[in-house]
Structure 1
């Protein structure tokens, strides 16, 4: 994640850097995104960039972090509408995302979802486990009714939600290309949620 020096920058400067990075990640897939183009658009030196971030993955982490409040509020609203049902909340969240997605947001999601390093990148972001990520996970966890979960730990909840959101990212990536497939995308997402919820075996594994 960004360094303390970055967080100490004026709000306007941070926004300029963020916007420059978003534009670059929209322009091309993540692997092809150019740090040079980001620093040129942001009007900062290469040296300054590396006092703020380790690499472009760090920048992407900040973009995710910056969007956390809106994401968090949207998730909680969906959970409240569905009385804490995780699976209905996920379906409602997908519908909300489709209904409110702007063209640039869809392109950004598409470019990240298409990334060959998506799994590793997501794993690393989760591995760092920043305070902001912990707080988001706790808010999401508290909004869900876990009374019928076999394992009620927040750690298992985090793993489950990461699988759900990987599928959601794929759905939004497809939606970017084929908005006419909206109902088909929702149906496939629902089917995948059912597999996560109920599994595929006819009986439980024998110990």
Structure 2
């Protein structure tokens, strides 16, 4: 049973993350200062450092939130799938749904790849934010890999090409995330100059990824 003091610390930590989330969305990460986060949270700047190492550490706390939300969507989309292939296709649906409905969280996760924060080798050296984010990312990849493994076992995917569940899950994740980034607001201007509908293009790309993993008929 947690103590009242522990609950208060957790509530304060969550309040800081709430304030940071709003600030990052409104002002962008690079323009948000620890002072502005402290003011929004109603705390002193010094107290922020009791809970978080720096601004990047706060960002990783938000990444953990975003990754948890993505994992929940993936779990929901895949729970009733009847084959590994259909579960893998559902992962793509969940990823697009996450982007369209939680676009700020998608961008928060995207920014994490460029910060170089999660680089410690031992849990002992990590901050709570780093630990939470890594744990959430592992849950996402484990779920994706389990869908691939299911497809290999029920032969609903091309087992001549797909043999390693985790490598395939990484291919799926990288492809989906990269394609979404390409057409995002700050992405390629070709979509506008060529008159391409971004949503239709993403649906077509997702279909191509799925088709590449399906068994080939002779």
Contact 1:26 1:107 in 2 (8 A): yes
Deviation at 1:172, TM superposition (A): 7.6
1:57 aligns with 2:56: yes
Which stretch has the larger CA shift, 164-173 or 42-51? Answer: 164-173
Query: Residue 204 of structure 1 aligns with which residue?
Result: none
> Cα 1:53–1:67, aligned 2, differ >3 Å: closer, same or farther?
same
Query: Residue 27 of structure 1 aligns with which residue?
Result: 26
Which stretch has the larger CA shift, 157-166 or 72-81? Answer: 157-166
How do 1:177-188 and structure 2 match up within 5 A? 181-188=198-205
Between the aligned partners of 1:164 and 1:126, the Cα distance in structure 2 is 23
Contact 1:20 1:41 in 2 (8 A): yes
Q: What's the TM-score once normalised by structure 2's chain length?
A: 0.61
Which stretch has the larger CA shift, 19-28 or 50-59? Answer: 50-59
Q: SS at the partner of 2:174?
A: helix
**Structure 1: gaps spanning 5 or more residues:** 1-6, 199-207
Query: Residue 95 of structure 2 aligns with which residue?
Result: 94
Q: SS at the partner of 1:70?
A: helix
Aligned residues: 180
1:166 aligns with 2:177: yes
**Structure 2: gaps spanning 5 or more residues:** 1-5, 121-129, 153-158, 187-191
Deviation at 1:12, TM superposition (A): 3.1
Relative contact order (alpha carbons < 8 A, sep ≥ 6): 1 or 2 greater? 1
Choose 1 or 2 for highest CA Rg.
2
Q: SS at the partner of 2:204?
A: helix
Which stretch has the larger CA shift, 86-95 or 27-36? Answer: 86-95
Between the aligned partners of 1:52 and 1:172, the Cα distance in structure 2 is 36
Query: Residue 141 of structure 2 aligns with which residue?
Result: 137
How do 1:4-19 and structure 2 match up within 5 A? 9-19=8-18
Query: Residue 48 of structure 1 aligns with which residue?
Result: 47
Deviation at 1:60, TM superposition (A): 1.9
> Cα 1:190–1:24, aligned 2, differ >3 Å: closer, same or farther?
farther
Deviation at 1:17, TM superposition (A): 0.9
Deviation at 1:189, TM superposition (A): 4.7
Q: 1:15-67 CA deviation, whole Å, 9 max, x = no partner?
A: 32111111111013322222221111012222222222222221122112234
Contact 2:20 2:37 in 1 (8 A): yes
